[in-house]
Amino acid sequence: MTREIQHFIDGKLVSGTSGRFLDVFNPATGEVQARAPLANAGEVRQAIDAAEKAFPVWRAVNPQRRARVMFKFKELLEKNMDELAALLSSEHGKVLADAKGDVQRGLEVIEFACGIPHLLKGEFTEGAGPGIDMYSMRQPLGVCAGITPFNFPAMIPMWMFGVSVACGNTFVCKPSEKDPSVPVRLAELFMEAGAPEGVLNVVPGDKEAVDTILTDPRIQAVSFVGSSAIAEYIYATGAANGKRVQAMGGAKNHAIIMPDADLDRVVDDLIGAGYGSAGERCMAISVAVPVTDAVGDELVKRLRPRVEELRVGLPTDPDADYGPLVTAEHREKVRGLIDLGVKEGADLVVDGRDLTLQGYEDGFFMGGSLFDRVTTDMQIYKDEIFGPVLSVARAKDFDEAVAMPSDHQYGNGVAIYTRDGDAAREFASRVNVGMVGINVPIPVPLSYHTFGGWKRSAFGDTNQHGLEGVKFYTHIKTITSRWPAGVREGASFVIPTMK
């Protein structure tokens, strides 16, 4: 019998009432395993009602007691790691080890959030003026919301609500309708950790739910991760409705391979960063940029057998490098882009379009594909493929290699491989990209730093998690205080100065 996923509103599971559902597939078999309710505007407003009602209660809980809830939540995440990873893997298709990594990276933001009381401290200046003290305080915004993608159904919701609720806000999460069970389960565990009812609500939905979040005046801030076209829409619509918005979009992450690079390490890193999670990562390396044709020839020579030998298997197979794509629709989109690359004249060195798994022919599997001689005018270079496809785009020298990611419409992540510290330093300084790895293939910052790209990879002024996240989810209020003593000076019509 097909399982029916529920919303989580005001501390309890609630069946969907809109009458609209989306099938949730088992990507390995192609079978429908559940139905996700698509929240209508009324159901989203119920979640906002619950969050609005809970806000005064949660805000009044002092920071260290909120931190105790976060500590307990961290403990429950660790205790339930296997369950969460299995649930995530069953809906997304990630292999179990990668699914655990998804949960773990979210858990690390919860660890960071346990220490937020320190970051919520204001500043104080005694004697800023004659008998005047000045101080500031950070205060929560109110009801906040997150709109999260299918590719990290544990990590990205925790990036958002973990920081937000630790700051004293309440939260409404609209997860991807493709794999919403993990966010719902996270909300249950957060309640078990001691959070009051209504602090965290989860409502799977589509555009109707998104637009309700963007236009309801009670939502103070919206965080989003997804495609750039939707990120731009989220940013423009949310800002037009007076909300703070951070909207992370697409990516085309390059890896620059200098002539002095350790090619054995490069190939290992490109295989993992390009094909892990079937390429369904916004930080996947999708373009390798060897500097000089000699390096390009040797790189492709070494990559080809490694791509051909990739082990594509069931998510539960411990020997599989990666599992199926999330849906048949997404697999067809990736296939279509590979078809386009062939038409554009790129050299398809390894073709993974027609891979099937014996006994699981209806699953959404795809082998690894490798393109060579991709040029910057090709659509497969310009667009985010979001699948197990690596493109090799050659550069004649260092300057051209720096220009390629710098001039691209996306500016999420980039890496350089070299033994030359001066070249690495110059690259990190010059490249027009938000996150840089030096001999590191996936430069995702740790939780106490911040995640965010440039250009069409991010809309808004602040990054995810870290101190930037705390600033995003709080107002700063500055108080100038005087307790008069002695002779009154009378009225003054001059603006106060320190002269």
* pLDDT tens digits, 139-152: 999 999 999 999 99
C-alpha angle 60/64/70, rounded to 5°?
100
Active site residue 173: no
**b/e map 251-270, b = 16+ CB within 10 Å:** bbbbbbbbbebebeebbebb
DSSP 8-state class, residue 463: -
| pLDDT tens digit sequence for 53-86 | 999 999 999 999 999 999 999 999 999 999 999 9
Whether residue 485 has pLDDT greater than 90: no
| pLDDT tens digit sequence for 259-303 | 999 999 999 999 999 999 999 999 999 999 999 999 999 999 999
Phi, psi (degrees; rounded to nearest 5) at 35: -125, 130
Domain ranges across the chain = 3-249+457-479, 253-438
Q: What is the model's pLDDT at position 130?
A: 84
Closest CA to 402 of 426, 437, 420, 383: 426
Percent of all residues in the chain with a pLDDT value above 90, rounded to a whole number: 92
DSSP 8-state class, residue 349: E
Domain 253-438 in this protein, CATH class? alpha beta
Q: What is the model's pLDDT at position 484?
A: 78
Q: How far apart are CA 272 and CA 263, in angstroms?
A: 14
Percent of all residues in the chain with a pLDDT value above 70, rounded to a whole number: 99
Q: What is the model's pLDDT at position 26?
A: 97
Tell me the average pLDDT of the chain: 96
Closest CA to 370 of 391, 343, 342: 391
Enclosing H/E stretch for 474 = strand 474-482
Q: How far apart are CA 86 and CA 343, in angstroms?
A: 39
Q: What is the model's pLDDT at position 487?
A: 60
Are the C-beta atoms of 469 and 108 separated by less than 8 Å? no
Are the C-beta atoms of 51 and 171 separated by less than 8 Å? yes
**What global pTM score does this model have?**
0.94
Report residue 145 CA to chain centroid gap: 14
Q: How far apart are CA 218 and CA 207, in angstroms?
A: 18
Report residue 351 CA to chain centroid gap: 29
- Is the four-CA dihedral 66, 71, 74, 76 of positive or negative sign? negative
Enclosing H/E stretch for 187 = helix 181-192
Whether residue 105 has pLDDT greater than 80: yes
DSSP 8-state class, residue 196: P
pLDDT classification of 486: cutoffs 50, 70, 90:
low
Strand partners, 178: none
| pLDDT tens digit sequence for 32-58 | 999 999 999 999 999 999 999 999 999
Are the C-beta atoms of 352 and 373 separated by less than 8 Å? no
Phi, psi (degrees; rounded to nearest 5) at 369: -120, 145
Q: How far apart are CA 89 and CA 323, in angstroms?
A: 9
Enclosing H/E stretch for 107 = helix 96-114
Q: What is the model's pLDDT at position 461?
A: 87
Are the C-beta atoms of 7 and 203 separated by less than 8 Å? yes
pLDDT classification of 409: cutoffs 50, 70, 90:
very high
Up-side HSE of residue 131: CA atoms within 13 Å toward CB? 8
Distances (CA, A) of 216 to 174, 241, 283, 325, 386: 14, 8, 32, 34, 32
Q: Can you tell me which residue has the tokens 């999420």?
A: 412
What is the chain's length? 499
3-249+457-479 belongs to CATH 3.40.605.10? yes
Are the C-beta atoms of 93 and 364 separated by less than 8 Å? yes
C-alpha angle 152/169/225, rounded to 5°?
25
